[in-house]
Amino acid sequence: MIDEESRTTVLRRPATYQPPRSWRTWLLGRPLATADAEDETIGKKVGLAVFASDALSSTAYATQEILVVLGAAGMAALTFAFPISIAIVALLAIVTISYEQIIHAYPNGGGAYIVSRDNLGELAAQTAGASLLADYILTAAVSISSSVAQISSAFPSLFPYRVAIAVGLLLLVMMINLRGVRESGTTFAIPTYFFLAMMVLTIGLGFIRYVAGSLGTVPNPPPMETVETAQAIGLFLILHAFANGTTALTGVEAISNGITAFKEPRSRNAGITLIWMSLILGVVFLSVTFLSVQIGAVPSESETVISQLARTVFGSQGILYLAMIAATTIILIMATNTSFNGFPRLSALLAIDGFLPRQLAFRGSRLVYSWGIMALTLIAVLLIVVFQASVTGLIPLYAIGVFLSFTLSQVGMSRRWWKIGRLAEGEEIKQPASTLRHDARWRLKMVANGFGGLCTAVVMLIFIVTKFTEGAWVVLVLIPLIVLLLRAIHHHYHDLAKRLSLASFDMAPRSPRHRVIMPLSGVHRGTLLALRYARTLSNDVTAVHVSIEPEQTEKVRQKWDVWGEGVRLVILDSPYRLLIEPLMDYIAEVAKGRQPNETITVVVPEFVTRHAWENLLHTQTALTLRFAFRTMPGVVITTVPYQLEEDGPLPDTATSNNKQEAKS
């Protein structure tokens, strides 16, 4: 076809290439076309498994983290766990209402990052993005570490191998997610509902035995471990326990970040899934805490509270106990799936806006953000190794980031309602990610979001104060560093865009002169192939040889006399046996004296081995030269590959024969 405005001929060729089957096909599945993206979306039931596993899994350790603080004041203080849990569930309700509004206001996802970007500015958006990225990484590390703690509770002999087990499980989840959202969601749906069934059975039987008076206490409880020195019950201790327990809220924001993974109508399906998740989370968390207090469960690294609850309720460590431990372990492993869905999507949004490397916005063969998945895995593995897969060690780093994002998102929504309140009925304002329309209930919604932002800000401050000396200071340093990194990357892309812009660009006339320089290490078939290519570019060709060994140089000179086709040869002496530096110096001298509109091209011969491992047997001089010369301004570098599997004479047979006779 022909573009009517520019009269440029535009040819479009339909795709005929089909990716061949390979080990990647077996490992990750067949590549998916872009048109298949709609088929990869998920419904509410699968969405609950994909995005709610993090929040639901927190019931396995949130209660324990409350008890581990209260234990510093003795067993009597553990009775405060249930009232603290009620306060946490009230906070959960506030956050859920806020995110339900975000889901409908921003149906393309992005959560706190997009809300902050539209309503609070670039710095707030970067802070929200940095906070969420840190939270997703910590979610993966904490969830996997907690799952290993469940395993070692049932099988203490595995405790010394917890780091290796955790890393192996994380790699397994990575591989499943690389296969695609729908496939990973289907894979994880059954275990999620198995966990819920086992939790309902455990809690239900626990309440029946409690009402009947036969529940009792934990038989042979493990030794108590606390994070505080012995102290009396006070406000600071209560606030510290409350802060620990708010880890139950992590993961609530995940659905708002991944709305695009849901089937249409996306906002409605995502909103319903969020409400389901919050109701289940609140009921299970309160029930586990209540029953744990009744049986006298104690916080311990050697046996989790869930393990103590299960063996007390079931009366033994039989099949039901093992099923409960298995279900909890699986849901904790799957909790990392929330991160594996949220982190890549958020990092892709940041990459599109120019705050992270562009590669993170590329979708892989299975329509998932493969680079983001692998980046998350690498960083989470480092955390697991550094903290030796300890949940108690990682928890102080946890939740500050997510509560900071909670606060920014709710303050951003509050400002959004304030802007909507300034609009006349029927008036609209388009923002980058949404459209503002008049809403008669804007005051009520603004107050609700404002109150929610105040509550989460207070919780964040409590967490900072109570956890500061335990490691929370690391996050307070880390988030600003991530923000600085985001800004540095954005500055690079912004500066690059300015330099590459065609605005006010004056295209120089085509170069009338073309000078070619060809580095020469030896004279062989690949050299002559490169020479013939060089002579198609210009008649002004100079071969350059760096003389390190005089005997080798003499052989090169003699061969060039026969095969060089009269092209001049410059020999650069190198008494210190340097290769790159003399070449760079010579080419820089030539470039300095070049005429206006003259192009200098360095043609580098490169032979290609039959097998990749054979490259290890060679110095890869061509690769070294290519990387060295590309930093030199005003110089074009091109390589001419010669495939070694192409046996036989050079194309110009007659010329080759004549030169062979001349050599004789």
Q: What is the CATH number of the domain that holds 382?
A: 1.20.1740.10
DSSP string, 79-106: GGHHHHHHHHHHHHHHHHHHHHHHHHH-
Residue 528 lies in a domain: yes
- Enter the DSSP assignment of 566: T
Query: Same domain, yes or no, for 114 and 200?
Result: yes
| pLDDT for res 367 | 64
Contacts of 481 (CB under 8 A, 6+ apart): none
Residue 607 lies in a domain: yes
Last residue of a domain, one of 489, 522, 555: 489
Question: 435: which strand partners?
Answer: 430
| pLDDT for res 198 | 93
Q: How many angstroms separate the Cα of 487 from the Cα of each of 356, 379, 492, 563, 650? A: 9, 20, 9, 55, 54
Query: Same domain, yes or no, for 454 and 518?
Result: no
CA–CA dist 415, 406 (Å, integer) = 14
Q: Each residue of 193-210: b (16+ CB within 10 Å) or e?
A: eebbebbebbbebbbebb
Residue 1 lies in a domain: no
Q: Which domain holds residue 640?
A: 513-663
Among residues 202, 224, 204, the alpha carbon closest in space to that of 67 is found at: 224
Query: Same domain, yes or no, for 385 and 284?
Result: yes
Q: How many angstroms separate the Cα of 451 from the Cα of each of 84, 104, 413, 454? A: 20, 19, 11, 5
Question: First vs last Cα of the chain: how many Å apart?
Answer: 58
Radius of gyration of the chain (CA): 33
Among residues 541, 601, 603, 592, the alpha carbon closest in space to that of 566 is found at: 541
User: What is the identity of the amino acid at 94?
Assistant: I
Crossing angle of helices 162-178/122-154, nearest 10°?
Answer: 120
What is the total count of domains within the chain?
2
Query: Same domain, yes or no, for 347 and 428?
Result: yes
Last residue of a domain, one of 489, 524, 557: 489
The answer to whether 173 and 333 have CB atoms below 8 angstroms apart is yes
| Count of other CB atoms within 10 angstroms of residue 418 | 16
Among residues 46, 333, 346, 26, the alpha carbon closest in space to that of 183 is found at: 46
User: What is the identity of the amino acid at 530?
Assistant: A
The answer to whether 40 and 55 have CB atoms below 8 angstroms apart is no
Last residue of a domain, one of 473, 489, 505: 489
CA–CA dist 634, 644 (Å, integer) = 32
3: left (phi over 0), alpha (psi -120 to 50) or beta: beta
Q: Within 213-264, where are the H helices?
A: 235-245, 254-257
**Residue 607's CATH number:** 3.40.50
pTM strictly above 0.85: no
Query: Same domain, yes or no, for 71 and 131?
Result: yes
Residue 401 lies in a domain: yes
Q: Is the torsion defined by CA of 325, 327, 333, 336 positive or negative? A: negative
CA 614 to chain centre: 34
Residue 20 lies in a domain: no
| pLDDT for res 369 | 82
Crossing angle of helices 305-314/266-295, nearest 10°?
Answer: 70
CA–CA dist 107, 266 (Å, integer) = 7
E-assigned strand segments in 344-458: 428-430, 435-437
Regions of the chain with pLDDT less than 50:
1-3, 646-664
Query: Same domain, yes or no, for 467 and 604?
Result: no
Query: Same domain, yes or no, for 256 and 121?
Result: yes
Query: Same domain, yes or no, for 135 and 269?
Result: yes
Query: Same domain, yes or no, for 385 and 470?
Result: yes
The answer to whether 601 and 516 have CB atoms below 8 angstroms apart is yes
What phi and psi, each to the nearest 5 degrees, are found at residue 252? -65, -30
Residue 583 lies in a domain: yes
| pLDDT for res 655 | 41
Q: How many angstroms separate the Cα of 234 from the Cα of each of 9, 80, 243? A: 79, 11, 14
Residue 230 lies in a domain: yes
Query: Same domain, yes or no, for 261 and 190?
Result: yes
Query: Same domain, yes or no, for 45 and 183?
Result: yes
Query: Same domain, yes or no, for 482 and 525?
Result: no
CA–CA dist 591, 95 (Å, integer) = 64
Nearest-5° angle of CA 454, CA 115, CA 442? Answer: 65
Residue 344 lies in a domain: yes
Among residues 517, 515, 533, the alpha carbon closest in space to that of 525 is found at: 533
Crossing angle of helices 305-314/122-154, nearest 10°?
Answer: 40
